[in-house]
Amino acid sequence: MRAMPGSRRRSALPGFGPALGFTLFYLSLIVLIPLAALGVKTASFGWDALWTTVTSPRVLASYRISFGTAFAAACTNAVLGLLVAWVLVRYRFPGRALADALVDLPFALPTAVAGITLTTLLAKNGWVGRYLEPLGIQVAFTPLGISVALVFIGLPFVVRSVQPVLEDLEVELEEAAAILGANRWQTFRRVLFPALTPAVLTGFALAFARGVGEYGSVVFISGNMPMKTEIAPLLIVTRLEQYDYAGATAIAVAMLVVSLLMLVAINGLQSWSRTRQRAV
Amino acid sequence: MSQSLDWNAALPARARPRATADPRWLRLGLIGAALVFLGLFLALPLAAVFVHALGAGLAGYAAAIVDPAARSAIWLTLIVAAISVPLNTLFGVAAAWTIARFDFPGRNLLVSLIDLPFAVSPVVAGLIFVLLFGMQGVLGPWLIEHDIRIIFALPGIVLATTFVTFPFVARELIPLMQEQGDEEELAAISLGASAWQTFRRVTLPNIRLGLLYGVVLVNARAMGEFGAVSVVSGHIRGRTNTMPLHVEILYNEYQTAAAFAVASLLAFLAIGTLVARSLLEWRLAKQSAHDGAEEG
């Protein structure tokens, strides 16, 4: 049903010129020109300065922490998000609608609120932290705490990627598998899981990309110890507060390059997911 | 976020045959595990916001909110949202009309560029505006000469917020409009309607619910944005502090109850957003069921 290529359609509906013009103008003004400033500044600081900053131990450690905790959180979300999507789509139980609505909470709740709340809950005397303390598990102010915050932030990405695909899956496929003698686990592993893989991966990538750049929910719970729990976005802020613009820019450019590569990967995954969905 | 609103629409109407139904113990186990996880990670934090907000009693709660610094933060947050939400909505409609209704070279590239702000860390989003308009920025000297303040002032906060919330309305509308197709609009045009009449009488009613949800979502994100705004605001109390920044300051000053009191206002905003989403989704499901019945 999407607009087909062809000059007849293009001429039949009005407004292409003004709409495209405004879209490009606004896109340039808000996004492209400001991003170009980052390129201009990087060039003026020089590539050597950039390389020296990015390869310094403290910056490398912050990348390791940002990417490591985001990866761990995205893996957790891939498993638990699939579980939540499965339960919400396949089972009827009291409170289902409420649980479904609640999944979007991390999209709607400001990250700073999430940050102070999770920190308060997981601190030694917090509602949850006080039960973990005797077990010797410290969550607040450790990399584990950062991952917990990122699991919160990333959960809706996986659930909302998987849910529509799961809803569209034909029951006949599972019936066929059952008739051919597969048990439920075989059906899930051989029939359902391959069909869901692109959606799970898309959700994983979205959650990972969001987690790498996340600031508000992490900065409170991380404790911000250099080399241990200092995330890359926080290091950018620290450098800015010291008026080290070249340093802040260098850290940001490296992060941006990785983010753009991830965006390309996500777009690829999403189109794979769509073709899969259509094929099934 | 890129999906359309009909997440709940397709519940299987007939009972599932026994061969593909999960055993009872598995069903209950999975439901239990999912609910424990959602309860611990989502419901408990949400409840904690309100309990901690009342940590200093109702009087303390009220005092934290009517405090002059809090009032000015609330006011600033409302002003910023009142500027960036309409701008991004206008853009979203124009971009969706361009992308969903016309085919042109570079269309996929345009879609990717619109998504770009999603891939940028909020802190980097703030940084680019500092590099452009800050004292040592590309345009810094010129701005100082003309006595124009953008960074550490309202324009910078609005720009950073607009950048971060840029894709939401467009991402909501594009799949919706592609799914609806352009037959009705073509019919209106061929019957002699003007472009504006077609948009107002045909397109707008069709995309109404999706547009409304996009606006609700942009609004929640605009009011709650922290990282980008934190970089460009300068944290001048009473002048450039938005609500999330005010929460941060109170929390770092160990005024926990006051921090959670202001945070609870933002949590109400989040709950309102979720309720609006559920209502709109329900209306959308009803609308498409109605349309389907008409066609059939």
Tell me the average pLDDT across A85-111. Answer: 94
- Best of B5, B8, B20, B173 to mutate (most A CBs within 10 Å, chain A): B20
What are B28-60's pLDDT values in tens digits?
999 999 999 999 999 999 999 999 999 889 999
- B98 to chain A, any CB pair closer than 8 A? The answer is yes
Nearest to B114 among A10, A27, A151 (CB): A27
Are A218 and A116 in contact by the 8 Å Cβ rule? The answer is no
Chain B residue nearest residue A92, CA to CA: B31
Which is nearest to A82 in space by CA: A149, A148, A165? A165
User: B134: which chain A residues are within 8 Å (Cβ-Cβ)?
Assistant: 245
Contact: B244, A84; criterion CB under 8 Å: no
Are A165 and A277 in contact by the 8 Å Cβ rule? The answer is yes
The pLDDT value recorded for residue A27 is 96
Which is nearest to A160 in space by CA: A74, A216, A88? A88
- B60 to chain A, any CB pair closer than 8 A? The answer is no
Tell me the C-alpha distance between A231 and A222, whole Å: 8
Taking only residues 269 to 288 of chain B, the set having a beta carbon closer than 8 angstroms to any beta carbon of chain A reads: 269-271, 273-275, 277-278
Q: What percent of chain B has pLDDT over 90?
A: 65
The pLDDT value recorded for residue B294 is 58
Mean pLDDT of chain B, nearest integer = 88
Residue A6 in tokens: 């062809």
Q: What percent of chain A has pLDDT over 90?
A: 60
Contact: A109, B224; criterion CB under 8 Å: yes
Tell me the average pLDDT across A4-25. Answer: 74
Nearest to B48 among A111, A117, A212 (CB): A117
Which is nearest to B2 in space by CA: A86, A165, A216? A165
Taking only residues 202 to 241 of chain B, the set having a beta carbon closer than 8 angstroms to any beta carbon of chain A reads: 217, 220-221, 223-227, 230-231
Has the ipTM of the complex gone over 0.85? yes
Nearest to B20 among A97, A171, A252 (CB): A171
Taking only residues 259 to 278 of chain A, the set having a beta carbon closer than 8 angstroms to any beta carbon of chain B reads: 259-260, 262-264, 267, 270
Contact: A27, B162; criterion CB under 8 Å: no
Tell me the average pLDDT across A110-120. Answer: 96
Are A200 and A269 in contact by the 8 Å Cβ rule? The answer is no
Q: Give the count of Cβ contacts less than 8 A between chain A and B.
A: 333
Taking only residues 11 to 40 of chain B, the set having a beta carbon closer than 8 angstroms to any beta carbon of chain A reads: 11-12, 16-17, 19-20, 22-23, 26-27, 30-31, 33-35, 37-38, 40
Q: How far is A241 from chain B (nearest CA, A)?
A: 9
Chain B residue nearest residue A14, CA to CA: B195
The pLDDT value recorded for residue B7 is 43
Contact: A113, B49; criterion CB under 8 Å: yes
In sequence order, which residues have a C-beta less than 8 Å from that of residue B259 and are 6 or more positions away?
A: A116, B247, B248, B250, B251
- A170 to chain B, any CB pair closer than 8 A? The answer is no
Contact: B121, A220; criterion CB under 8 Å: no
User: B100: which chain A residues are within 8 Å (Cβ-Cβ)?
Assistant: 2-3
Nearest to B31 among A3, A91, A187 (CB): A91
Tell me the average pLDDT across A2-22. Answer: 68
- B128 to chain A, any CB pair closer than 8 A? The answer is yes
Tell me the C-alpha distance between A62 and A225, whole Å: 10
Tell me the average pLDDT across A253-265. Answer: 87
Q: A95 — alpha (psi -120 to 50), left (phi > 0) or beta?
A: left
Residue-by-residue DSSP string for chain A: -PPPSSHHHHHHSS-HHHHHHHHHHHHIIIIIHHHHHHHHHHHHH-HHHHHHHHTSHHHHHHHHHHHHHHHHHHHHHHHHHHHHHHHHHH---TTHHHHHHHTTHHHHS-HHHHHHHHHHHHSTTSTTHHHHGGGT---TTSHHHHHHHHHHHHHHHHHHHHHHHHHHS-HHHHHHHHHTT--HHHHIIIIIHHHHHHHHHHHHHHHHHHHHH--HHHHHHS---TTTT--HHHHHHHHHHTT-HHHHHHHHHHHHHHHHHHHHHHHHHHHHHHHHHHH-
Higher pLDDT, A12 or B243: B243
Are B127 and A236 in contact by the 8 Å Cβ rule? The answer is yes
The pLDDT value recorded for residue B51 is 96
User: B91: which chain A residues are within 8 Å (Cβ-Cβ)?
Assistant: 22-23, 26-27
Q: At what angle do helices A16-27 and B68-101 cross, to 10 degrees?
A: 140
In A195-211, which positions are buried (b, 16+ CB within 10 angstroms) versus exposed (e)? bbebbbbbbbbbbbbbb
Chain B residue nearest residue A188, CA to CA: B20
Higher pLDDT, A277 or A237: A237
Q: How far is A209 from chain B (nearest CA, A)?
A: 7
Residues in chain A: 280
Tell me the average pLDDT across A219-224. Answer: 91
What are the pLDDT tens digits along chain B (296 aa)?
Answer: 444 444 444 455 445 555 667 888 889 999 999 999 999 999 999 999 999 999 889 999 999 999 999 999 999 999 999 999 999 999 999 999 999 999 899 998 899 899 889 889 999 999 999 999 988 888 888 998 999 899 999 999 999 999 999 999 999 999 999 988 888 999 999 898 888 899 999 999 999 988 998 999 999 999 999 999 999 998 777 788 999 999 999 999 999 999 999 999 999 999 999 999 899 888 878 877 776 665 54
User: A28: which chain B residues are within 8 Å (Cβ-Cβ)?
Assistant: none
- A14 to chain B, any CB pair closer than 8 A? The answer is yes
What are A29-62's pLDDT values in tens digits?
999 999 998 888 888 888 888 899 999 999 999 9
Contact: A41, B131; criterion CB under 8 Å: yes
A193 pLDDT tier (thresholds 50, 70, 90): confident
Nearest to B263 among A12, A113, A121 (CB): A113
The pLDDT value recorded for residue A72 is 97
Higher pLDDT, A276 or A212: A212
Taking only residues 133 to 172 of chain B, the set having a beta carbon closer than 8 angstroms to any beta carbon of chain A reads: 134, 136-138, 159, 162-163, 166
What are A121-166's pLDDT values in tens digits?
999 889 999 999 899 899 999 999 999 999 999 999 999 999 999 9
- Best of A28, A45, A100, A116 to mutate (most B CBs within 10 Å, chain B): A116
Contact: A30, B48; criterion CB under 8 Å: no
Tell me the C-alpha distance between A199 and A280, whole Å: 13
